[in-house]
Amino acid sequence: MEIIQIVGLCVVTTILVVLLREDRPEIALQMSIVVGVIILLRMINQILAIVEYLRDLSLRANISNLYISTVFKIIGIAYIAEFGSQICKDAGSHSIASKIEFSAKVFILVLSFPVLMAVMDLIIKILP
């Protein structure tokens, strides 16, 4: 039933944003930011449950904690970067949005290097 509330909230907010867009575009943009934040704060319990399920799945498959926490970090960075770049695109400044995406890619690359090193060591060990 949560989905109905979310969709209703989004439709009402879109109408208000369109109402405010022609004479107060800055407040319309801030309203779209606020709606994004509200929806995520509502979804946090479900996301936390998923994170817990994934964690004890990985414990059962005895995957080392390094990989799983790296994956979660990358998901977090990707989400925040996406949040910011969508807002900048909404406001029409595509160059700033691409800067955010660029820095997010660099962070993710830096984070994923230890995992790559581990895979390379494994491969070297396997090769005769």
Q: Find the shortest distance in angstroms from Cβ 120 to other proteins.
A: 25
CA dihedral 60, 65, 66, 72 (to 10 degrees): 90
Rounded CA separation 10/36 (Å): 9
112 lines the binding site for other proteins (CB under 8 A):
no
By CB under 8 A, name the one of 7, 11, 18, 19 that touches other proteins.
Answer: 19
Kindly tell me which of 16 and 115 has the beta carbon lying closer to other proteins.
Answer: 16
Stated as kind and residue range, the H or E segment containing 123 is helix 94-126
**Which residue reads 């779209």 in tokens?**
32
- Which residues lie closer than 8 Å to 31 by C-beta, 6 or more apart? 13, 16, 17, 20
Q: Find the shortest distance in angstroms from Cβ 45 to other proteins.
A: 10
Give the binding site for other proteins (CB under 8 A): 9, 13, 16, 19-20, 23-24, 26-28, 30-31, 33-35, 37-38, 40-41, 44, 47-48, 51, 69, 72-73, 75-77, 79-80
